[in-house]
Structure 1
Amino acid sequence: MAKKNLNDRCPLQDECERKCEYKFRELECDYYANNGVGEDRTIPDQEERRDEAERKAYEEQYEADLAGVEDDDEPTAQPAKGVITYISVKELHPHPDNPRKDVGDVTELAESIKVNGVLQNLTVVPNMVTGEISGDTWQRGYKVIIGHRRLAAAKLAGLETLPCVVVNMSEREQLSTMLTENMQRSDLTVYEQAQGFQMMLDMGDTVEDIAEKSGFSATTVRRRVKLLELDKDKFKKSEERGVTLFEYMELDKLKSPERKNEMLDYIGTENFKYKLKQAIDAEATAERKAKWVELLSAFATQVESRTGYRTVKSDYVSSKIEMERPDDADTVEYFFCIEKWGYIALMVKDEPTAATPEEEAKRREEQMKQERKDAAAKALSEATARAYELRADFVATVSAAAIKKRLADVVALWAYAEYRDDTNWLTEEEIMQATGVGPFAEDDEDGEDDAAFTLQAVTDAIGKTPEKALLRMIYARLGDGKSEGYFRSYWNSYTMKHEENEKLDRIYALLVKLGYEMSDDEKALQDGTHELFNEEAE
């Protein structure tokens, strides 16, 4: 669904995940104010305002410093609450409940502080401690509410005092303030944000309260909190790979917590999309298998092996879930077996035959080899279709900028395929998908196409990204599809044979240039090393 209230001035619009209500006054937005750093992440007129505000703050701070100088023989007064006061770094302590457990690398900030000083005060509260034996309460320095990175950088820079504002807050107010301030920073990890949101919920805030305080949507808050259901150690390792919230959201396509945690090993790698599709398929297969078991168990007994049984009916887990109850099911004992690649066999006990034991063993062996080959062929077809879906998804979502950089390669592959007569005619549906025009109306009585499909309609549809429409049109002409793969079945072999596919090689080569990352399974299908090619020895 398209995002509402887009701000085309702000380079951070796509990553902030929030509606924008600050157009032409972006500096008032906490997300821009905290993260608008760098050549491609700033708005010129807002940065002029920022510079002016910082200069003014620096001048006011300097004047406050002069006014606060005291004679050495006078006792140091207790810092006034609500007023900027310089406090010794030794008396400032990180808050134990700060949701941001790691302040990160503060080297660059420390260098800036050495040159410019600290331009923004810290917010602190008195650190009250209670003696375990006496029970007396007294103050031991201050706890930082806002400014943990500045404190760490100031220590690294060698500063002895820092500008602080001392405030009175209840423990709940302290935690709420730290959470709200930290939630608006882009360098807070997704897991830390999730923990912060959960802490706010534990304090009694509603999802809507958190959304209002943090600036995130209620949906984003719920999604982040849901991430806490995942394995903590695996999640933190995945964060080191720079995983985005969108990728974590992809895990919602799975129902099983176990499978979600398995995917954390792949998320952030080139294998994630393929493994996710595989896991989704496996989950669907498991659900179908359970329905098959329920259906067959009504008149047959499940067994682990087909040895000693004769198959009377067969099917696959992926097929339509239906099998008629045999007419003689009340008098004949039936059994069923579901094998590794989803092959289903409805069986009866084997009867003695006139064949010798050697002949019967050979017949059974050949039958099982053929069935396993059929199952491997089905599994290869599913893997091939899965790989195609990844390629098609990439073509549908690749950026116009990436296509522009490789436009010559795109057109060259098209020209080569046309010259070799290795292209397909486009259907009306493919044209509609590629251009975004349509759908077509039914032909009128004169057999003319829908009058709405005009040159101007196509021009309007492709809009500002004709490169994307061009790639989609060419990709459709190249004829990629669910059956485009690297295997072939031979009648005189019980193994699935790898087969070269130059056309698909060329498609992959182009997509990789555009930024596509092939999974290990796709590479194994391409070079013939996939386990499915050697499932059964000849």
Structure 2
Amino acid sequence: MNYNAELVSLNELVPFPNHPYKVDINEDLRNLQHSIEERGIDEPLIVRRVNDKLQIISGHRRFLASKLANLQNIPVRIVDLDDDQAAIMLVDSNLHRRNVLHSELAFAYKMKFDALKHQGKVKDDLTMCPVGTKYNTDSAEHIARQEGTSRRQIYRYIHLTNLNKELLEYLDQGIISFNPAVELSYLKDDEQELLLDAIKDINATPSLSQAQYLKYLSKNGEINEDIVYEVLEEQKANQKEKLKIDLESLSKFFPRGTTPKEMTEWIHYLLEENDFEKDFIKDGIDLKI
């Protein structure tokens, strides 16, 4: 692999097709732009030749920041990689970034999973030299070992790529949590559209148990618009109003050593045995117990 940097025109560079990482013009990118304007590019982009263009493998943010900074030429390192090797290097070169979105991880893991599966060998990410013997284990297991997570978690992320674009955006924005989103990724496309319409209509998102129930209904072909609304309109456990009583203020009414559970049982017993409702109504308070 050739690591000698050279200057090339920005016009020669093209993005890697369908790469999983978002490159937005935000505050971070503007800061990178200003840094490049002041000091230039510290780390050359890594590219490979594809026909008459140089395809970016690592450095999409630096590329856009350089365009915004009106640079004409940019330092690059041209490497000789096939499609699978390039995909693996692209994914690995960005996983270290801070605040990688769930959707980015999902498509990055899938890209690397597909490349490893097609490649059939483990490759060292720096030298691209074969390591060990023929790669016979699960690609997800290999990625999991590298990422310090579980094989199951890698598969969960990969399955998120089945979510439609808007539901993925809800996940990235924190509107839908990760675990419910994984369950929802098992819904068919039209079912996801029904769910999305309902979420927008009633401003409610499914909990994990609701998402699991929708997955179960989908598997059995029982989802329709009415059911989706019915599920979303159910009151979630964390939305139910709860009465909180200070334990210390109650303790003086019970023998020493009485547990909170025993206190609760005694309170229920006393309320059931005494006609408190009549007393409240007599005092002008309409309280149903």
Q: Same fold (TM over 0.5)?
A: yes
Q: How far does residue 215 in structure 1 lie from its aligned partner after superposition?
A: 4.8
Superposition CA RMSD, Å: 5.0
The 3 A distance-change label for structure 1 pair 238 and 427 is farther
Give the 3 Å change call, closer, same or farther, for CA 254–148 of structure 1 in structure 2.
Answer: closer
- Aligned residue number for residue 161 of structure 1: 73
Letter in 2 for 1:223: R
> Counterpart of 1:109?
32
Partner of 2:160: 227
Would the aligned equivalents of 1:273 and 1:390 in 2 still touch at CA under 8 Å?
A: no
**What's the TM-score, normalizing by structure 2?**
0.59
The structural deviation recorded for 1:96 is 2.4
Q: How does 1:127-206 map to 2 (within 5 A)?
A: 127=50, 129=51, 140-205=52-117, 206=139
Question: What's 1:248 paired with?
Answer: 178
Distance change in 2, residues 1:260/1:216 (3 Å): farther
Q: CA deviation at 1:213?
A: 4.2
Contact map agreement 2:105 2:157 (CA 8 A) in 1: yes
State the Cα deviation string for residues 269-306 of structure 1 (Å, max 9, x = none).
973356x555666888999xx9xxxxxxxxxxxxxxxx
Answer whether contact 1:254 1:283 (CA < 8 A) is retained: yes
CA 1:177 to 1:252, structure 2 compared with 1: closer, same or farther past 3 Å?
Answer: closer
Instruction: Give SS of 1:118's match.
Output: coil
* Gapped regions of structure 1 (runs ≥ 5): 1-79, 130-139, 291-339, 341-378, 396-409, 432-472, 481-498, 504-538
Distance in 1 (CA, whole Å) between partners of 2:184 and 2:107 is 22
Q: Which of 196, 204, 207 is residue 140 of structure 2 equivalent to?
A: 207
Distance 1:87 1:251, change over 3 A: closer
Q: Distance in 2 between matches of 1:286 and 1:167?
A: 47
Name the residue aligned to 1:428. 259
Deviations 1:88-118 (A, max 9, x none): 2222222224333x31122222122212321
Q: Distance in 2 between matches of 1:217 and 1:114?
A: 42
**Which residue number in structure 2 is paired with residue 126 of structure 1?**
49
* Per-residue deviation, residues 454-497 of structure 1 (Å, max 9, x unmatched): xxxxxxxxxxxxxxxxxxx9xx89x99xxxxxxxxxxxxxxxxx
- Aligned pair in 2 of structure 1 residues 282, 500: CA closer, same or farther (>3 Å)? farther
Deviation, 1:254, is 7.2
Q: 1:92 aligns with which of 13, 19, 28?
A: 13
Contact 1:184-1:215 at 8 Å conserved across structures: no
Q: What is the CA–CA distance in structure 2 between the aligned matches of 1:202 and 1:94, rounded to whole Å? A: 19
1:155/1:210 CA distance change after superposition, 3 Å: same
The question of whether the paired residues in 2 share the 8 Å contact of 1:81 and 1:165 is answered with: yes
Q: CA deviation at 1:222?
A: 1.0
C-alpha offsets along residues 297-353 of structure 1, whole Å, 9 cap, x if unaligned?
A: xxxxxxxxxxxxxxxxxxxxxxxxxxxxxxxxxxxxxxxxxxx9xxxxxxxxxxxxx
SS in 1 for 2:160: helix
Q: TM-score, normalised by structure 1?
A: 0.35
Aligned-pair CA distance for 1:153: 0.2
Q: Which amino acid aligns with 2:19?
A: N
For residues 177-326 of structure 1, the aligned pairs below 5 Å read 177-205=89-117, 206-230=139-163, 232-239=164-171, 241-243=173-175, 247-251=177-181, 257=187, 261=192, 266=199, 271-272=204-205, 277=209
Quote the offset at 1:170 in angstroms: 1.6
* TM-superposed deviation, 1:226: 1.7
| 1:390 partnered with 2:238 | yes
Unaligned runs of 5+ in 2: 118-138, 269-284
Residues 213 and 280 (structure 1 numbering): CA distance in 2 closer, same or farther, change over 3 Å?
Answer: closer
**Residue aligned with 1:192, SS:** helix
**Aligned residue pairs, count:** 232
Work out the CA distance in 1 between the residues paired with 2:185 and 2:15. Answer: 40
Offset at residue 123 of structure 1 (A)? 0.9
Structure with the bigger RCO (C-alpha within 8 Å, sep 6+) is 2
